[in-house]
Amino acid sequence: METTMIAGAILPAQTYMPDDDTALVQASRGGDVAAFEQLVKRYDAKLLRIAQKVTQNPEDAEEAVQEAFFKAYQKLEQFHGHATFSTWLVRIALNESFMKLRKRRGILEQSIDSNVLSDSDSTRLPFDVADWAPNPEAQYRATELREILISTLQRLTPALKIVFVLRDIEEYSLSETSEILNLSATAVKTRLSRARLQLREELSKYFKQPE
């Protein structure tokens, strides 16, 4: 059993339920560093995976995640539970990742809050885009397809790419994605449809049948 030293006395360490983020957050606010360390362990791998997809740079991704946890710890009092802790944390990590991306590129990128597509765009875009996967007869190896997909993803705007990453790669639900990005469900659907359509158009160039 883990123990904690307080004023010279050895006390049993507090234990938490596997999914009890709320208890860990409350304990962290009270100065329990071990509780926050559990939150870090719980979400570190997920945040790093998302940050890497945004930045496409391992060092930038690691720095973004470290800074996200640091800022989250500093701003714990600002977390009021309107969204889940995980979506709040992912949002901070995304903002840090986009800051790294802007810094590296040296140009102004649109933030995840930018209204690149308004809800009204949904009247002009299809929600259910046809399957954009390559032709089943294509004989590209998995590694080649992965490189092609990564290259193609980089052609999307940040606002479209992150919706695609959260929904189709990380498999967040529509409501979770809406919470993370602070967008309406309609806006998420619209951006996802636009992203899938652009990816399909780009990928089709690689998988055209020979004439």
Contact 167, 90 (CB under 8 A): no
Ranges in the chain annotated CATH 1.10.1740.10: 3-105
CATH architecture of 3-105: Orthogonal Bundle (1.10)
Q: How far is 93 from 96, CA to CA, in rounded Å? A: 5
User: For strand 3-6 and strand 9-12, is the pairing parallel, antiparallel, or unpaired?
Assistant: antiparallel
Check whether domain 119-204 has CATH 1.10.10.10, yes or no: yes
Per-residue pLDDT, 208: 62
Please compute the mean of the pLDDT values over residues 125-149 and round it to a whole number. 51
64-108 pLDDT per residue, tens:
999 999 999 999 988 887 778 998 999 999 999 988 887 876 644
pLDDT in tens, 146-195: 677 777 788 888 889 899 999 988 889 999 999 899 899 999 999 999 99
Per-residue CA distances from 177 to 84, 102, 167, 181 (Å): 12, 22, 7, 6
Q: Which residues make up the CATH 1.10.10.10 domain(s) of the chain?
A: 119-204
User: Please, is 57 exposed, middle or buried when counting C-beta atoms within 10 Å of its C-beta (0-12, 13-18, 19+)?
Assistant: middle
**Residue 147 main-chain phi, psi, to 5 deg:** -65, -40
